[in-house]
Amino acid sequence: MKRWLTRLALGGIALGIAVSFRAPLLAHHSFAVSYIEADTIELDGDVVEFQYKNPHSWIFVQATEAAFGQAKIYAAEWVSPSQLERSGIDRKFFKPGDTLRIWASPNKNPGDNRVRLKRMERRSDGWKWTGNRGDTR
């Protein structure tokens, strides 16, 4: 009887560990669900807010899309803070008023101002972020 209970307990622990490691994989979504990954729009504008948070950081920019010329606030979904930290980017890296040029995947819903950041550059110092690999210059 003791052996059976020990095996049951160990099996429960193993299952718990397996589920806890798999949960983040199940929770993460594909960007293709919300964004048109094959398309790219260009935005020029000023930082309104930088949210350095999990699971993805966000940059809010008062910008004009090159193709339409209409100014509005765009919310650019970026990578996680841990990825940004590895590239030397902290929560104070962007300040309101920083001028950025952004290349992004547009939202599938034309009325939604959220975009997925692909590449960007800051005008004041020439700093560039060139993609999800975290490359910066």
Q: What is the pLDDT of residues 52-65, one digit of tens each?
A: 999 999 999 999 87
Confidence of residue 34 (pLDDT cuts 50, 70, 90): confident
Half-sphere exposure of 55 (CA within 13 A, CB side): 7
**What's the start-to-end Cα distance of the chain, in Å?**
64
Q: Determine what percent of the chain is predicted with pLDDT higher than 90.
A: 62
Dihedral sign of CA atoms 62, 47, 40, 67 in order: positive
CB atoms within 10 A of CB 130: 14
Provide φ and ψ at 81, rounded to 5°: -55, -35
Go through the domains of the chain in sequence order and give each one's CATH number.
31-129 (2.40.50.1010)
Average pLDDT, the chain: 81
DSSP 107: B
The model scores a pTM over 0.85: no
SS3 letters across 77-89: ECCCHHHHHHCCC
